[in-house]
Amino acid sequence: MASDKRYNSYADHIKEKYGKRLQKLVIDAGFTCPNRDGSLSRGGCTYCDNNAFHPNYSTPDKSIWQQIEEGIVFHRVRYPGASDYLAYFQPYSNTYAPLEKLKELYSQALAHPNVKGLVIGTRPDCIDERKLDYLAGLSKEKIVILELGIESCYDATLEHINRHHTWKQAEDAVSMAAERGITTGAHFIFGLPGETVPMMMDMAGAINTLKVDSVKFHQLQIIKGTRMEKEFAENPERFVTWTLEGYIDFFIGFLERLRPDLLIERFAGEVPPRFVNSTPWGKVRNVELLRMLEKRLEERDTRQGILYGKTKKDRS
C-alpha cells in the first residue's frame, strides 16, 4: 500500500509498476451476453444500458483500429501526457464468442503501436479452460487484465437482476484465472434491490476469499428506460440509497473489512446526467470523490484492512 494513501490505490500501483499512467480506451467489438441472446435469458441485466457506461467514440460500426485512434484523440484532451494505452473491451461480455474469434479481435487491438495490452470485461460464466490458457500465454508478452462482472455474492440477487450466473461460478472463474497467473479484477454494485446494509457489509468477507488482484465498486444508479427504473418506482422500499456523505462513510466501513492487499480501482461510479432521472449527489466527478474519500479517511484516522480478519465481536 502506498505510504501516502490509506487505501491500496490501483492507479498508483499501475504508475509504480509501469512507470506511467496507462489510459484505457473503450472498445465495442459487437459482443452480446447469454442473458440477452436467449441462451440463459433475454433483456440483459435489469439495471443495464451500456450506452450510459462508454464514450461516444466507441461504437461497433467502427473498426477496432478506428475506435483506438478516436479514443486517443478523445483522451489527449483530458490527459495530454498520455502515450500508452490499454484496449478495454468493455460493453457486454467480451469473451462470449469462439476462441478463434476472440484471437482475431484482440490481435486487431494489439496491432496498434500505442496499445500495450488488454482489459477484457466479461461474465464469470463466459470463460473456459481454453480461453484462459490463451490469455495466460498472451500475458507473457502483453499486459492482460481480466475484469469479471460479479456484482453481488448473493445468488438470489443475481437471479432477481437477471444475471443468471451464480457466486460459485464467480469463485470458480477467479480460481481458474489465478491458477494461470492472469491478473484479475472484479466488479460489484452496492444498493441492488433486496440487499440491506448489513448484507452489503458482509460481502467484504466473501470478496476477501477471492483470488482477485483488484476490485471496482459502484453505487447503484437508476438508468432511464431500464427495468430497474420501473422496479425502483414501484418498490422503492427494496432499495438502499445514500447521500454522498453517507455513502462515503458506508464505503469506509466496508474498506476497513477488505484485505489490505486488494487494489481499489474505483469506489463509486458516475453516469452522464442525461441517462438518469436525477443526480442526487450533484455532478461530482470521480477525482473529487477520491479527494472526499481520502479526507474522510484522515478524519476518521482509519484505513483499508484495519478490521480484516477480526470477528464481529472484535469490531464492536
**What pLDDT, on a 0 to 100 scale, did the predictor assign at position 286?**
84
What is the edge-to-edge ordering of all strands in the sheet holding 115-122? 23-27, 85-89, 115-122, 143-151, 183-190, 214-219, 263-266
**74 lies in some domain:** yes
Contacts of 59 (CB under 8 A, 6+ apart): 28, 67
pLDDT at 3: 54
DSSP single-letter state for residue 304: T
Q: Is residue 1 part of a domain?
A: no
Domain tally for the chain? 1
Q: Is residue 311 part of a domain?
A: no
Beta strands in the chain (DSSP E): 23-27, 85-89, 115-122, 143-151, 183-190, 214-219, 263-266
* Domain presence at residue 239: yes
CATH of the domain at 66: 3.20.20
Q: Is residue 210 part of a domain?
A: yes
Distance (Å, rounded) from C-alpha 136 to C-alpha 271?
33
The verdict on residue 26 lying in a domain is yes
Whether 314 is in a domain gets the answer no
- Residue 245: give the domain boundaries: 10-306
Q: What is the pLDDT of residue 148?
A: 98
Provide CB contacts within 8 A for 167, sequence distance 6+.
Answer: 150, 152, 153, 154, 155, 158, 206
Helix (H, G, I), strand (E, B) or coil at 171: helix
Is 208 domain-assigned? yes
Residue with cell 428506460: 225
> Can you give the pLDDT of all 316 residues of the chain as single tens digits?
545 799 999 999 999 999 999 999 999 999 999 999 999 999 999 999 877 667 889 999 999 999 999 999 998 888 887 889 999 999 999 999 999 999 999 999 999 999 999 999 999 999 999 999 999 999 999 999 999 999 999 999 999 999 999 999 999 999 999 999 999 999 999 999 999 999 999 999 999 999 999 999 999 999 999 999 999 999 999 999 999 999 999 999 999 999 999 999 999 987 777 778 766 787 778 889 999 999 999 999 999 999 998 766 565 5
The pLDDT value recorded for residue 55 is 82
Q: Which residues pair with 85 in a beta bridge?
A: 23, 115
pLDDT for the residue numbered 312:
61
